[in-house]
Amino acid sequence: MTPNEYCQDKASKSGSSFYYSFLFLPPKKRQAIIALYAFCREVDDIVDECTDEAIAHTKLQWWRSEIDAIFSGNAQHPVSKALDEARQNHYLPQEYFLEIIDGMAMDLQHCEYESFKHLALYCYRVAGVVGLMSAEIFGYTDRKTLKYAENLGTALQLTNILRDVREDADRGRIYLPQDDLQRFGISRQDILQHKMSNNFQKMMKFQAERAREYYQSAMKKLPDIDRHAQMSGLVMAEIYRTTLDEIEKDGFRVLEHRTRLTPLRKLWIAYKTARKERRLYKAFKKQTEIKQGDKL
């Protein structure tokens, strides 16, 4: 199995929504983004599956060393070898990979976050940075696209947090900001014991609106000239926004079960979004040509 085949296998087996956004990319870009995704899965799985905290720290430290190896041309792991190829074709700075690992390490150090300010740092490290690297792989003309990518990464992570409240609680983790829980009269035990209430639903609605603000901020920051290049991110945004809508339609009953979209629905959302973005791109190109013609 080649390094790229290893990454492809890891991505396809995960069942993640991210996989559907990669379908419309050219082969080289698709290989690069799947390698990045596979790296994120490798370090995330350490935190989620390793029950011994000391061992988890040791494994994350190994990945820090492996990142050094990638950038010195001595990659060992199949994912690292695929990333080595990706970084030769795209701007993927070493410090971004280390930020992601630092974010994963926060899961070992913090089971709770005092305020959204503290949670925002976590979101930046585990998702905002991934958004920045994804934007580099997809390509852009206007640097404002990087702010779009960072905001979108945070929006996706906030959606993940709302979707996975029960699953995280079962691991002893509560990502919902503690000051927000206190404001709505919800205790730590309420979350850990999966206790639904009207106050919990109100608090979740507040969190959902915060996530939507990040989606809106991201879209406002995306220049028209880069929409087509960033199509994969837009597909992902639509899948995750739909998930957020479904969570709300279900009454925010995330302590009872996890809201999921079927693979077929994700594929349909991806297809519709890609078709819409292609139409917009054609209209943008036509408008640009008209403006250029007027100047001649």
Q: What ranges do the domains of the chain cover?
A: 1-109, 111-296
CATH 3.40.50.720 is the classification of domain 111-296: no
- Dig out the tokens for 86 from the structure: 């990706």
pLDDT of residue 23: 81
* Mean pLDDT across 70-93: 94
Task: Tell me which fold the domain 1-109 belongs to.
Answer: Farnesyl Diphosphate Synthase (1.10.600)
Averaged pLDDT score across all residues of the chain: 93
- Dig out the tokens for 91 from the structure: 């701007």
pLDDT of residue 14: 64
pLDDT of residue 51: 82
Asked if pLDDT for residue 296 goes beyond 60, the answer is no
Do the domains at 1-109 and 111-296 have one common CATH topology? yes
pTM for the full model? 0.93
* Mean pLDDT across 221-230: 96
pLDDT of residue 230: 96
Characterise 251 by phi-psi region: left (phi > 0), alpha (psi -120 to 50), beta (else). Answer: left
pLDDT in tens, 119-157: 999 999 999 999 999 999 999 999 999 999 999 999 999
Q: How far apart are CA 156 and CA 245, in angstroms?
A: 13
Instruction: In the chain, count H helices and then E strands.
Output: 15, 0
* pLDDT band at 284; cut points 50, 70, 90: confident
pLDDT in tens, 175-196: 999 999 999 999 999 999 999 9
Written as one letter, the residue type at 271 is: Y
pLDDT in tens, 30-79: 999 999 999 999 999 999 888 888 999 999 999 999 999 999 999 999 99
Q: How far apart are CA 117 and CA 119, in angstroms?
A: 6
Question: Residue 70 burial by CB count (10 A; 0-12/13-18/19+): exposed, middle or buried?
Answer: buried
pLDDT of residue 12: 78
* Mean pLDDT across 207-214: 98
Q: How far apart are CA 73 and CA 76, in angstroms?
A: 9
DSSP for residue 235: H
Contact 150, 123 (CB under 8 A): no
* Mean pLDDT across 95-101: 97
pLDDT of residue 13: 74
